[in-house]
Amino acid sequence: MIFAYTRQLKPPLLEGGKVTELAANNIPNLLRALDFAEKGGGVSLLLSLYSSDLLQDQAGADHLANQKPLVELDFTNAHIGNALLPMVTAVKNYSALWAWEIFEPPVRIDMK
C-alpha cells in the first residue's frame, strides 16, 4: 500500500488553503513506484489517498485545514481538479495499479 499523502506534512501546494497543484516530486515518485512494481512481475499497488490520522490533531499537521477538502465544496473542487485528476491521469495506464483506496482504514472518521 502506498499513501499518496497522509498527514499533509508534504502536501500538495496550497494557496489560501486550497490545493493549487501537486508538489513537483509527487507524480514522478508515484510513477517510479509503479514502474518498479511492473518490473517486479506480479506486483500490484493499492494507492491510498488518505490515512485516517490525517484528520486527527497531531504535531506538525493542521487537521482543521485537512478537513476542508472533505466538507467545503470549493476546497473539494480545487483538490479534485488540481491534485487528484493530474495524479489519476498520470497513472491510468499502469497495469501495476490495482486499486485506489480513499481512506485507510476505511472506517467512520470523526471530524471534531
**What is the spatial distance between Cα 2 and Cα 97, in angstroms, rounded to a whole number?**
11
Residue 2 reports pLDDT greater than 60: no
Per the structure block, which three cell numbers stand in for 103?
481512506
- Residue 4 is predicted with a pLDDT of 55
Cα 8-48-90 angle, rounded to 5 deg: 90
**What is the spatial distance between Cα 2 and Cα 74, in angstroms, rounded to a whole number?**
27
Residue 112 reports pLDDT greater than 60: no
In a domain, 110, yes or no: no
Of 92 and 3, the one with more pLDDT: 92
DSSP string across 25-36: THHHHHHHHHHH
Q: Which whole number is the average pLDDT over 77-106? A: 87
In a domain, 87, yes or no: yes
In a domain, 92, yes or no: yes
In a domain, 109, yes or no: no
In a domain, 112, yes or no: no
In a domain, 68, yes or no: yes
Residue 3 reports pLDDT greater than 60: no
Rg (the chain; Cα; Å): 14
Q: How confident is the model at residue 6 (pLDDT cuts 50, 70, 90)?
A: very low
- Residue 7 is predicted with a pLDDT of 44
Q: Chain-wide mean pLDDT for the chain?
A: 78
Name the phi and psi angles at 22, rounded to 5: -80, 155
Number of domains in the chain: 1
Number of Cβ within a 10 Å radius of residue 106: 10
In a domain, 51, yes or no: yes
The whole domain housing 15 covers 2-104
Per the structure block, which three cell numbers stand in for 35?
514502474
In a domain, 67, yes or no: yes
